[in-house]
Amino acid sequence: MDGIVVIDKPAGYSSHDVVSEVKKILGVRKAGHTGTLDPMATGVLPVCVGEATKLAQFLTAQHKTYLATMLLGVQTDTQDTEGQVIRTSDGPVPEEDLRQTLKRMVGRIRQVPPAYSALKHKGKPLYKYARAGEFPEVAAREVEIFSLDVKSIARPYVTFEISCSKGTYIRTVCSDVGKILGCGACLAGLRRLRSGFFTEDMAVVLEKKPSATPREILADRLLPLARLLPDMPAVETAPALADRIRTGFQPDAGTLRQNVLPFLAAGDVIKFTLPDGDLVAVAEMLMPADALAGQDDKARAARILRVFGQPIRNN
């Protein structure tokens, strides 16, 4: 069983809990998620099963969209309402100042990852340091907020939809807004609406009772490998070439010259598929497509990163 099932993660479950539940329901040994959601958060959590676990690295970098609720006037050690309250404030915040501050978050910004997060420092998650009372200095990282749309203001709560790049902490967005306004703020609720290609309408709701979700429901909603990576440039291969790739062949200039798209640059990632759409491999271009014409046929042109499936015939 290979593919991705999109789970509507319930509140109170860790991402690891969801993966364990999916493995138990489907009876599979290999599974993993494509990006952690905090236990308090709900929504879209793609879970890779079987061969699809090889694709996780190509799915985590995609854009994500959330519906977030911020609590004004409360600052906590975890930057959300599940942490210990550090300070409170009931000072008035003009609505125009609030909207302008949220607007300032759009674009490329720098964030210091929260102390209570799964980000690793010297091989250990930051939350383990924090629980031990240690708070190592972590450098700020650049992330990008593509859009932020205020949905409602019902003081002290503000609900907004935010679209952002990989690695953006919505908790930190709320905390930073609170610092700028001077009143403090934290995250009170979070739902992921989209993770790259995966959306709410693809998601399966897990029953609250452990293992109560029927296996047939998850199996029926499993997205096959052929439907994944829809935006990645594809090179259609004959079965004979697919066999060669699956047994170690590294694509050369002669092989790719007539098959790749002209705008590809060195470093771009492409996928090899069979005519029926089945995924054969994912590879990195080692030279731009427009340079293939001047290369020797045997010059290595791409590096295979992942291979899927077994050879279907002997050459």
Active-site positions?
38
Token readout for 278 is 């089945």
Closest C-alpha to 161, from 172, 146, 176, 141: 146
Determine the Cα–Cα distance for residues 149 and 137; give it in Å rounded to an integer.
32
Residue 139 CB: number of other CB atoms within 10 A? Answer: 7
Q: What angle do CA 303, 285, 146 make, to 5 degrees?
A: 120
Strand partners, 284: 269, 303
Token readout for 231 is 């935006």
Determine the Cα–Cα distance for residues 233 and 64; give it in Å rounded to an integer.
21
Determine the Cα–Cα distance for residues 280 and 282; give it in Å rounded to an integer.
7
Residue 39 CB: number of other CB atoms within 10 A? Answer: 17
Q: What angle do CA 118, 124, 130 make, to 5 degrees?
A: 65
Strand partners, 18: none
Dihedral pair phi/psi, residue 91, rounded to 5°: -65, 145
Determine the Cα–Cα distance for residues 279 and 309; give it in Å rounded to an integer.
8
